A = this chain, B = another copy of it.
Amino acid sequence: MTARDAPGSPTDLHVPEPVARPGGHASFDHISFDEGAAIDRPSPEAPETGLRDYGYGLVRVLGGAGRAWDPGIDAEMLRRGLRAMARTRLFEDRMFRAHRQGKTSFFMKSTGEEAIGVAPSLMLGARDMCFPTYRMQGWLIARDYPLEMMINQIYSNEKDPLRGRQLPILYSARDYGFYSLSGNVGSRFGHAVGWAMASAYRGEDHVALGMIGEGTTAEGDFHEALTFAGIYRAPAILAINNNQWAISTFSGIATPAGTTFASKAIGYGIPGLRVDGNDFLAVWAAIEWAAQRARAGKGATLIEFLTYRAAGHSTSDDPTRYRPADEAGHWPLGDPVERLKAHLVELGEWSEQRHTQMVAELTDDLRSAQRAAEAVGTLGQSKPPVAEMFDGVFKEPDWRVIEQRRELGV
């Protein structure tokens, strides 16, 4: 009676594969881009139980069927957003080339994903805190963090604000609401929740924005952060950058086909929004909704931003080895810079000519920032005093680093 082993089992190990590999036909037909329930904007104070469909819809403003989510941003701010996104792209292209020229060891781009770094940076407050991924240089750029300082960090030179200790782009910028990055993916997601709980504990209304890549949602950290956020109603915005790829691994290895990353919110009793991540206004609107909810004491929101990693994973990567070369061209949500630009032009608030002029200005700025940084030095040509290597392990040095510093003679 207990033996139920049937012969000729239909079981087999199932390993998901992407629609296309190099040489194949790129397609995103398997992904739903329907607005669904998100055609409406619910009250940010609505109970979670009524919001469970939002994780399957799509929040859109630009090109969306409804305008419920339109955040009503003035043209000045839209231009600021456009400028920051364009600046980010130019900056990254330039630094990518600097890497190819041997000026640093490593670099990463957020090409095609700039709205996700820039819009929250402009939307959130000076005393809110972002717990970024490495694809959010746009946050710093939108807040006018000095480009020269960024480049000094990338070059690990004598003026590097992180004193040569960190891999390029693993910035820390407390005064700009940008928490210390590290090479490990996922492990700061829970810090956002703890940070937000501390804010709530003091009765402050500062919120934390935690960001994570879609591939990284598979880490235990993701689950633990959401569990704590749900239970203690942390005023945190927990967001997923779903750019379809995790190095060479497609998103079907992070969550099965047919489900969405936003729907993962359901199990934690918090709302989940699925958002057009290449729509500056939709990103802004979703962050604004979640921030309002958090500041109203209603706790955390999970947001999935749909986007596409148009660039390689990093300077160490060659994406043509694992995905069709023209895949980016098939991405249905377009490019965030182009879309916002077109919107502003349509509003009569921008023109090709102004755009060209802006790009020229930005390029000039960048060039002089780079020149200034290179006057200090590139990787290997210049670095902080070696003695500083021994600082900051603890607040006060102990005998080990004191002895070792002496041994090294610095």
Contacts and interface: CB of A to CB of B under 8 A. Distances in A.
Interface string A5-35: 1100111111110000000000000000000
Interface string A137-151: 000000100000000
Task: Please classify how large the interface on chain A is, using the bins under 10, 10 to 19, 20 to 34, 35 or more.
Answer: 35 or more
B203 A9 contact: yes
Interface stretch (A119-127, A152-160, A380-388): A119-127
Given A14-B200, A258-B48, A264-B267, A220 B224 contact: yes
Given A223-B224, A233-B256, A264-B268, 10 more contacts: A1-B122, A9-B297, A10-B205, A10-B296, A14-B232, A14-B297, A220-B224, A255-B269, A259-B268, A266-B266
B77 A1 contact: yes
A185 B12 CA distance: 30
Interface string A241-259: 0000000000011111111
Nearest to A264: B267
A316 interface: no
Contacts of A296: 10
Contacts of A10: 205, 295-297
13 contacts: A1-B77, A2-B122, A11-B297, A12-B200, A13-B197, A49-B258, A222-B223, A230-B259, A257-B269, A259-B266, A259-B268, A264-B268, A265-B267
Contacts of A254: 227, 231
Nearest to A11: B200
Interface string A276-296: 000000000000000100111
A199 interface: yes
Contacts of A222: 223
Contacts of A269: 255-259
Given A48-B258, A220-B220, A259-B266, A12 B203 contact: yes
A227 B128 CA distance: 31
A360 interface: no
B267 A2 contact: no
Contacts of A77: 1
A323 to B, nearest CB: 19
A299 B14 contact: yes
A221 interface: yes
Contacts of A124: 2, 4
A233 B252 CA distance: 12
